[in-house]
Structure 1
Amino acid sequence: MAPTHRSFAHDLTRRRILTAGAATAGAVLAGATTASASGKSWPAVIPLPDGFRPEGITIGGGPYAYLGSLGDGSIYRADLRTGRGGIVSTGPGTPSVGLKLDDRGRLFVAGRGEGARVVDVRSGAIIASYVLTTAAPTFVNDVFLTPRTAWFTDSYQPALYALPLGRGGALPDADDIVTLTLSGDWSQAPGEVVNANGVTRTPDGSALLVVQTGVGALHRVDPKTGVTRIVDLGDTAPLTAGDGLLLLGRTLYVVQNRQNAVDVFTLAPDGTSGVFRRRITDPNFDVPTTVAAYRDRLYLPNARFATPPTPTTTYDVIAVAR
């Protein structure tokens, strides 16, 4: 049944976004400050199964990364200390794109044309699936979590989708899904061009940040109205390969996938402007798409989009200093 979408302003408030920002940053910092070792001897290259086709990555409080397959949607868990891992959830046969892990062991997965699903990483079971839109075409690409909401981007539609979470993190019903139409500075590139891609929040938690890949712009999105404003990043090169976003404090990491680089910015607290600081590159990058942090390292999966995928194509995750 098609979802009946309620008014966003009725469901969510700025306070929830602000609370989310503090909680998300705290979770990252907790993982970093409770570590007893530097992790410098940990592997810099983590192999994935042949033919896996990774895109999204997420890391929780422990030294484990979770990755989704663009092929069959399986979820792989890698031990960052040893580089070893295995499949923890067999895919439904449809893609897993962006993904985020909450503190209840639930993985929120963007499912491209299939909407979204939630996976219990302990059992591997899919515990919920959602049709986020009946519009076509649709490409649910990335996800960002706050304590009250799971936000999803759609690369083919000018909209964000919000799954409001209830008391104790209770998952919503299908008719609780909220569609936030993007307006303001947002100009949707037509057809199957990648528009909205990576998503995170502003440093002060008052708004969302979304990279529009085909245009090369970073947008600040009002979470109540959907009105966007382009973030002033100065005279830096456009983010035309912008993909995954990661915010740590006021530092924003933007993965530039086909440029094999991560651009680093310092943002104003409200996210209206930013200053380019440096570019991170590595000879092992092969079209990295998303990024997650643990301790003093960034971890990026090589999607290898320039290499035709086969069952024997090799894939890996690359660790670099942050």
Structure 2
Amino acid sequence: MHRSFARRRLLQGAAALGGAVLLTPLGTTAEAAGSAGGRWPSGFPLPDGFQPEGIAIGTRPYAYVGSIAHGSVHRASLATGRGRTVVEGAGPDHPVIGLKLDEQHGRLLLCGGVSREIRVADLRSGRVVTSYTVGSEGTMVNDVVLTPGAAWFTDSYKAQLYRLPLGRRGELGDIATVPLSGDWVQGPDFTANGIARTPDGSALIVADTAADGGALMRVDPRTGRARKVEIGALQLPYADGLLLLGRTLYVVQQQINAIDVVELNAAGTRGRAITRITDPAHFRIPTTAAAWGDRIYLPNARFDVPPTPETDYDVVSVQQV
């Protein structure tokens, strides 16, 4: 973990580039929304020292947030902000980075970072029921997306993805390693980050922070062949979590405290930047994003401060575009 996040902290000076408003391509401005509507809170606190990174929200108003510090998962009500630990962690050597809900089968898929672990936790009991070790020395399992027949995981230090087959009745298959080729550019260290599906579901979109100053890659899941998504002059050097809603892709650029919003075509081969969301009063290095109603929820990872058991962390939200 230390290698990956040490690099992120070296980039903290870029945080000053974050604006104070929600910017549109036409140059008009509007304040980033700060209320969840009604009496629901716009955000909620996490336990001190938690060190969040990933977030997942399903069909019910609860957020699941993973901990880098000790590998636990915190579940919080979006209606009240109150929460509790639902998956006990196994310590700092077994962190949780990205995570996704598989509600149909009552489980969470957890990315174990440099532990090289992919873990499957039962939602009802909170127990880790299955664990895989993938990659090789230097691997970092970062983020995950669910497709109808598989879960796909990124490796931030290797030019490859991991495919976990998912059967119709929830059975788990053997993990396969899918090398990335084509336009993929593997940097000297941290490269692949967030992952999403294309709007038509035919391929994967993966953030490549090393290609052309930071880019999105469309990856053929059958071959691993990558093609750069044409998004004009927009660069994404700090791209972290990806959230696709319809054809709208939210790209969390953590070190500059911003979300770049891109409208994709159905196949995910090209897109156009439509706005950038910033909220300097509340963004403190957000990393990933999940949606409920008309809100986007983001955990503040605070990579720009030394983590301690007393460091405060939270989840904040902004209005969808």
- 2:154 is matched by which residue type in structure 1? T
Q: Secondary structure of 2:255's match?
A: helix
Aligned-partner residue type, residue 261 of structure 1: A
Is 1:171 the counterpart of 2:172? The answer is: yes
Q: TM-score, normalised by structure 2?
A: 0.85
Corresponding residue for residue 119 of structure 1:
121
Specify the alignment match of 1:200 in structure 2.
Answer: 196
Q: Tell me the equivalent position of 1:288.
A: 286
Equivalent residue for 2:66, pick from 62, 68, 89: 68
Partner of 2:245: 248
Shift of 1:309: 0.3
The residue that corresponds to 1:105 in the other structure is 106
CA distance in 1, matches of 2:53, 2:220: 27
CA shift digits 1:21-50 (9 cap, x unpaired): xxxxxxxxxxxxxxxxx8442111210000
Residue in structure 2 matching 1:209, options 205, 216, 226: 205
2:311 aligned counterpart, secondary structure: coil
Q: 1:266 to 1:40 in 2, by over 3 A?
A: farther
Structure 2, gaps ≥5 residues long: 1-35
Query: Are 1:95 and 2:70 counterparts?
Result: no
Q: In the TM superposition, what is the alpha-carbon distance from 1:136 to its structure 2 partner?
A: 1.9
Q: Name 1:128's counterpart in structure 2.
A: 130
Which deviations, in whole Å up to 9, do the C-alpha atoms of 1:136-191 show, x marking residues without a partner? 2100000001231010000000000000012301122xxx211110000012112x
- In structure 1, give the amino acid aligned to 2:107: R
Tell me if structure 2 keeps the 8 A contact 1:39–1:81: no
State the secondary structure of the residue aligned to 1:286. Answer: coil
Counterpart-to-counterpart distance in 1, 2:284 and 2:138: 28
In the alignment, residue 191 of structure 2 is paired with which amino acid? Answer: N
C-alpha deviation, 1:274, in angstroms: 0.4
CA contact (8 A) 2:151 2:166 kept: yes
Q: Match of 2:19?
A: none
Query: Is the Cα contact below 8 Å between 1:194 and 1:212 reproduced in 2?
Result: no
* Superposition RMSD in Å: 1.1
1:181 to 172, 179, 182: 179
**Unaligned stretches of 5+ in structure 1?**
1-37
2:163 maps to 1:162: yes
1:168 partner SS: coil
* SS, match of residue 224 in structure 1: coil
Query: Which residue in 2 is equivalent to 1:35?
Result: none
- 1:258 counterpart SS class: helix
SS in 1 for 2:169: helix
Contact 1:117 1:129 in 2 (8 A): yes
Determine the C-alpha separation between the residues in 2 that align with 1:285 and 1:107: 26
Residues 308-317 or 144-153, more deviating? 144-153
Q: Which amino acid aligns with 2:228?
A: I
> What letter matches 2:215 in structure 1?
A
CA distance in 1, matches of 2:233, 2:38: 35
Distance between the aligned counterparts of 1:57 and 1:113, measured in 2? 18
The whole-number CA distance in structure 1 between the counterparts of 2:38 and 2:148 is 32
Matches of 1:76 and 1:152, distance apart in 2: 21
Q: Is the 8 A contact 2:112 2:142 kept in 1?
A: yes
Instruction: Pick one of 44, 47, 50 that aligns with 2:45.
Output: 47
Q: Which amino acid aligns with 1:164?
A: P
Work out the CA distance in 1 between the residues paired with 2:137 and 2:127: 28
Letter of the 2:242 partner, please give it: L
Code of the residue aligned with 2:99 in structure 1: it is L
Q: For the Cα contact (< 8 Å) 1:149–1:164, is it kept in 2?
A: yes
Helix, strand or coil at the partner of 1:166: coil
Aligned partner of 1:65: which letter? A
Amino acid aligned to 1:62: R
Match of 1:57 in 2: 55
Decide whether the 8 Å contact of 1:67 with 1:77 is kept in 2. yes
Distance in 1 separating the partners of 2:294 and 2:185: 37
The one-character-per-residue Cα deviations of 1:184-222 (angstroms, maximum 9, x if unpaired) are: 0012112xx211100001111111000012431100001
Alpha-carbon deviation of 1:116? Answer: 0.5
Q: Residue 169 of structure 1: SS of its match in structure 2?
A: coil
Matches within 5 A, 1:30-41: 39-41=37-39
User: Where does residue 16 of structure 1 map in the other structure?
Assistant: none
The residue identity in structure 1 corresponding to 2:109 is F
In structure 2, how many angstroms separate the alpha carbons of the residues matched to 1:167 and 1:57? Answer: 25
